[in-house]
Amino acid sequence: MGMYHTPALAQEALHALNVYPEGVYVDATFGGGGHARAILERLGAGGRLFAFDQDEQAEANAQQEPFASHPGFRFIRANFRHLRAHLRAWKVKDGEVNGILADLGVSSHQLDTAERGFSFRWEGPLDMRMNRGEERTAADWLNSSTEEDLQVLFSRYGEVRNARTLARACVAFREREPFRTTGDLVQVCARVATGDRQRYLAQVFQALRIAVNDELGALEAFLRDATRLLAPGGRLVVISYHSLEDRIVKHWLKAGNADGTLERDFYGNFRRPFAALTKKPIEPSEGEIRQNPRVRSAKMRVGERQTDTSLEG
């Protein structure tokens, strides 16, 4: 089993969730179980915690203590985009959940497992699927996407400045041989990288990971479900690592949708499903970054569910 780091902003996230002993909580990104363990410590006998993760290693972690013996704990092996459907199967109704936490970072364990292909630091198959039951790997994306689509992918999801040059270089590479390993992609990047090489590689790998796992689509679906599931006064806590994700969360807490446009109800009042409790996102302290450099870009936003019956469906 790989090493799982202490999760990002652990104390801050727990404080923001405002856990009370008999409540119903969701850890939408279980991973190594760091956040979930802290929530369980605060739950009483009647409290419940549902943990979601689509990764097989996370499922194995959920079978360890203290999770295995806690009567209120349930692990659900699924993408958090299907939150509501799965919770309904456990008889959890809309408006019954007191707190939902999502940490959108890829776990250190996944990054450090070479065969998962998330990291440019290790030679391994170019995979990047969070759920290995999905069909298309990162290699498939690189081998079959048009040059235009690759340019959009690198530019939008990775904010890669010379996305067109990189897309062209990828197409030239695959005309000779298909992409198979992380090393293949590193080799192509080395020819066209601008600025800091490590940062460039991180942006390219991140862009592919977001595309392979439809991470932004999943985030929107998750936020839609979370909005319906939360009880008035319930807390939504989201930790993101990428400006695109952070923007979606910020907009959602402001307006209840991904583009931040305030909509009016039948009576002409603005619909505001959440009160944002963080004007600016909460970021890790220097001390935490020293202990775990991977949390450097973490941004946490918190919203409290308002009494709002105007959401459809």
| pLDDT of 110 higher than 60 | no
Check whether residue 275 and residue 240 sit in a common domain.
yes
Check whether residue 100 and residue 221 sit in a common domain.
yes
119 within domain boundaries: no
Check whether residue 56 and residue 202 sit in a common domain.
no
Check whether residue 61 and residue 208 sit in a common domain.
no
Check whether residue 232 and residue 285 sit in a common domain.
yes
Question: pLDDT category, 193, cuts 50, 70, 90?
Answer: very high
Tokens of 294: 């991977």
**Half-sphere exposure of residue 147, counting CA atoms within 13 Å on the CB side?**
12
| Distance, CA of 13 to CA of 48 (rounded, Å) | 18
Domain boundary among 180, 212, 244: 212
How many structural domains compose the chain?
2
- Provide the pLDDT for residue 223: 97
Check whether residue 222 and residue 286 sit in a common domain.
yes
- Provide the pLDDT for residue 113: 52
- Provide the pLDDT for residue 270: 84
Tokens of 279: 């004007």
Classify 117 in phi/psi space as left (phi over 0), alpha (psi -120 to 50) or beta.
Answer: left
| pLDDT of 76 higher than 90 | yes
Check whether residue 19 and residue 104 sit in a common domain.
yes
- Cα-Cα-Cα-Cα torsion 111, 115, 119, 123, nearest 10 degrees, comes to 140
Question: pLDDT category, 308, cuts 50, 70, 90?
Answer: low
| Distance, CA of 27 to CA of 24 (rounded, Å) | 10
The β-bridge partners of 269 are: none
- Provide the pLDDT for residue 119: 63
pLDDT tens-place string over residues 117-128 = 556 666 788 988
Domain boundary among 159, 189, 212: 212
User: Residue 91's Cα: distance from chain center in Å?
Assistant: 25
Residue with more model confidence, 95 or 108? 95
Find where tokens 């996370």 sit.
Answer: 58
Please, which residues have CB within 8 angstroms of residue 230's CB and are 6 or more apart in sequence? 95, 97, 98, 99, 100, 236, 305
| Distance, CA of 166 to CA of 204 (rounded, Å) | 9
Check whether residue 269 and residue 148 sit in a common domain.
no
| pLDDT of 86 higher than 80 | yes
Check whether residue 180 and residue 154 sit in a common domain.
yes
Return the CATH number at 239: 3.40.50.150
Range of the domain at 35: 10-109+215-305
Domain boundary among 161, 177, 212: 212
296 within domain boundaries: yes
Q: β-strands 73-76, 97-103: how paired?
A: unpaired
Check whether residue 294 and residue 281 sit in a common domain.
yes
Lowest mean pLDDT among 99-103, 225-229, 239-243, 264-268: 264-268
41 within domain boundaries: yes
Alpha helices in 80-159 (DSSP H): 83-89, 108-112, 138-144, 147-158
Question: pLDDT category, 310, cuts 50, 70, 90?
Answer: very low
262 within domain boundaries: yes
Check whether residue 38 and residue 80 sit in a common domain.
yes
Find where tokens 């946490």 sit.
Answer: 300
195 within domain boundaries: yes
pTM of this structure? 0.86
Question: pLDDT category, 2, cuts 50, 70, 90?
Answer: very low
199 within domain boundaries: yes
Return the CATH number at 199: 1.10.150.170
Please, which residues have CB within 8 angstroms of residue 199's CB and are 6 or more apart in sequence? none
Check whether residue 83 and residue 229 sit in a common domain.
yes
